[in-house]
């Protein structure tokens, strides 16, 4: 950062308090994030310049990759920590420092591309996110097929499918699985050439190779991959020359017996602007969808996340509140937990429902999709083809009683209504009737695959 004489004087004057504050912040980060994350990603941060006029402090890292990772995962936390420690610091910029020490990242992977241009895979050697592993991917009914397929492709010497096509909405874990496949594949084949890149980067690099007359090098590097992973393939829609190269790259990888993994936000048949021959090739392998996480999976994700934050005390009612209220995607749920942990650490406040509602006000408003009991009754009645009036009737025939129990169960799972209130909405029934219905459906879900599928479908429809 270029500094004026006034800025330089301000920097010198503020050196001691800034350094002291940084030591305090580093101690807190190591405590809250754990030694592994801190040593790998946060310890290498060096203090840059401070502009007293704008209140901007520069933090520097050894490489662009590390700077991008810290900016993505810790920018808000670092900014809050600095503002709390020194109010004169109004903004934090995270970048690459020319004089920063080259600190190795403590992960079982080859050196970063910036530091090892001659590493296997050359310019496109995989830069895998160290947090994304198979063993910390939380599995539920919404994603178990995709997870098992990912594990099989990464671990087995022979697989019955190639390529693997993963699809699902934003924030459901596609990128996590891609990086996890890479880690598992590398662990079993240390000398393997693994390439991971977004479809957008594929397009940009291909166009750049065309302009520089280096298409042969581009083709050779990508087609030599033992495992090639392309994320968000929908971004090459409408790009004819890129699709031509992508198609031939796919064919080369598959024909050579190497492995290909593709991800997208939708199924192959729903991809507009992609050539039919590419869609056909993608469909030859295994197509695995990742559905929206149900309540049970969201609860398990929160529990797993909290295991990595042992110093963060989150009561059970807050866990349930988060699982019910943040249902849009897993990424947003994890982000909410990170924000809660950061704000609690910086303000020394106890995490309770009032605190969470205050800190996550914007996120909660965005997830305000309120499901009503009336809506549940209507959706269940339509699904089982009975009159909605039967939800409140006294009839006990099985064809009516079972859908009514399903609706009670969903009302308990998807709304904040109390048991007595749910009972009143079902024809003035006692709360013990609701308890019986919930327990009965929970028991039957484990025994009756068709009923379980019905409830998962109804839940997705109601939450969408």
Q: Which of 21-30, 79-88, 237-246, 318-327 has the lowest mean pLDDT?
A: 79-88
Backbone dihedral angles phi then psi of residue 259, each to the nearest 5 degrees: -110, 140
Q: Which helix (H) or strand (E) holds 439?
A: helix 431-447
Q: What pLDDT, in 10s, does the model give residues 68-109?
A: 778 877 887 788 788 778 878 888 899 887 554 333 222 223
Mean pLDDT computed over 195-222: 86
- Give the pLDDT mean for 304-314: 83
Contacts of 145 (CB under 8 A, 6+ apart): 288, 289
Assign domain 122-290 to a CATH class. alpha beta
For the full predicted model, state whether its pTM sits above 0.75: no
Q: What is the pLDDT of residues 148-173, one digit of tens each?
A: 999 999 999 888 999 999 998 878 88
Read off φ and ψ for residue 150, nearest 5 degrees. Answer: -60, -45
What pLDDT is attached to residue 108? 27
Which is more confidently placed, 227 or 361?
A: 227
C-alpha 123/C-alpha 119 separation (Å) is: 8
CATH numeric code, 295-366: 1.10.8.60
State pLDDT tens for residues 276-302: 999 988 888 999 999 888 889 999 999
Say what the pLDDT of residue 300 is: 92
Whether residue 163 is preceded by a cis peptide bond, meaning omega within 30 degrees of 0, is yes
Cα 411 to the center of its chain, rounded Å: 28
CATH fold of 5-96, please?
Answer: GMP Synthetase; Chain A, domain 3 (3.30.300)
Per-chain mean pLDDT for the chain: 83
What is the rounded CA–CA span in Å between residue 401 and residue 456?
19
In percent, how much of the chain has pLDDT > 90?
A: 31
- 41/8: higher pLDDT: 41
Please report the pLDDT score of residue 164 as a whole number: 95
Predicted pLDDT of residue 152: 95
Sheet with 194-198, strands from edge to edge, namely 194-198, 227-231, 259-264, 164-168, 286-290
Q: What is the DSSP string of 334-373?
A: HHHHHHHHHHHHHHT----HHHHHHHTHHHHHHT--PPPH
Whether 464 has a pLDDT exceeding 70, the answer reads no
Q: List, in order, residues 6 or more apart from 153 with CB less than 8 Å away.
A: 159, 161, 162, 164, 181, 259, 261
Strand spans (E) along 74-130: 91-96
What is the average per-residue pLDDT within 135-145? 92
Quick one: average pLDDT of 32-51?
80
Mean pLDDT value of segment 319-324: 90
Residue-range domain boundaries for the chain: 5-96, 122-290, 295-366, 373-463
Residues 351-385: pLDDT tens digits?
A: 999 998 888 887 777 666 667 898 899 999 999 99
Residue 117 is predicted with a pLDDT of: 35
Q: What confidence tier does 125 reach under pLDDT thresholds 50, 70, 90?
A: low
Six-digit token string for 146? 């995709």
The answer to whether domain 373-463 has CATH 1.10.1750.10 is yes
């Amino acid at each position: 950062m270029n500094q004026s004489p006034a800025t330089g004087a301000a920097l010198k004057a503020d050196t001691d308090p800034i350094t002291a504050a940084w030591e305090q912040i580093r101690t807190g980060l190591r405590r809250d994030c754990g030694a592994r994350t801190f040593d790998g990603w946060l310890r290498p941060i060096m203090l840059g310049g401070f502009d007293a006029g704008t209140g901007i402090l520069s933090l520097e890292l050894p490489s662009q990759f590390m700077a991008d990772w810290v900016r993505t995962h810790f920018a808000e936390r670092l900014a809050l920590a600095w503002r709390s420690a020194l109010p004169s610091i109004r903004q934090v910029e995270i970048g690459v420092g020319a004089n920063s020490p080259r600190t190795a990242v403590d992960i079982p992977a080859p050196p970063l591309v910036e530091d090892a241009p001659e590493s296997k895979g050359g310019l496109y050697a995989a830069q895998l996110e160290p947090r994304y592993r198979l063993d910390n991917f939380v599995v539920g009914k919404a994603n178990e097929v995709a997870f098992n397929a990912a594990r099989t492709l990464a671990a087995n010497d022979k697989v019955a499918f190639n390529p693997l096509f993963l699809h699902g909405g934003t924030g459901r874990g596609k990128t996590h699985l891609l990086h996890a496949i890479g880690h598992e594949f590398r662990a079993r084949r240390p000398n393997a050439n693994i390439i991971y890149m977004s479809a957008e980067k594929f397009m940009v690099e291909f166009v750049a190779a065309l302009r520089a007359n280096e298409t042969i090098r581009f083709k050779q590097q990508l087609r030599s991959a033992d495992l090639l992973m392309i994320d968000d393939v929908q971004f090459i829609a409408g790009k004819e020359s890129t699709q031509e190269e992508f198609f031939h790259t796919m064919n080369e990888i598959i024909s050579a017996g190497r492995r290909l993994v593709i991800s997208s936000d939708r199924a192959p048949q729903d991809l507009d602007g992609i050539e039919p021959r590419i869609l056909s090739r993608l469909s030859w392998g295994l197509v695995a969808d990742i559905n929206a996480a149900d309540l049970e999976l969201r609860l398990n994700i929160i529990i797993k996340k909290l295991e990595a934050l042992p110093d963060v005390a989150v009561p059970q009612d807050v866990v349930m509140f988060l699982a019910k209220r943040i249902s849009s995607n897993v990424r947003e749920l994890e982000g909410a937990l990170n924000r809660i942990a950061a704000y609690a650490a910086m303000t020394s406040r106890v995490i309770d429902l009032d605190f969470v509602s205050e800190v996550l006000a914007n996120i909660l408003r965005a997830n305000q999709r309120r499901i009503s009991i009336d809506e549940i009754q209507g959706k269940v009645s339509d699904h089982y083809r009975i009159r909605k009036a039967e939800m409140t009737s006294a009839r006990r025939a099985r064809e009516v009683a079972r859908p009514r129990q399903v609706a009670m169960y969903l009302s308990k799972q998807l709304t904040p209504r109390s048991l007595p209130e749910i009972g009143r909405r079902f024809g003035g029934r006692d709360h013990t009737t609701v308890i019986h219905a919930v327990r009965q459906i929970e028991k039957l879900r484990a025994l009756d695959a068709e009923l379980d599928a019905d409830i998962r479908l109804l839940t997705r429809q109601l939450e969408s």
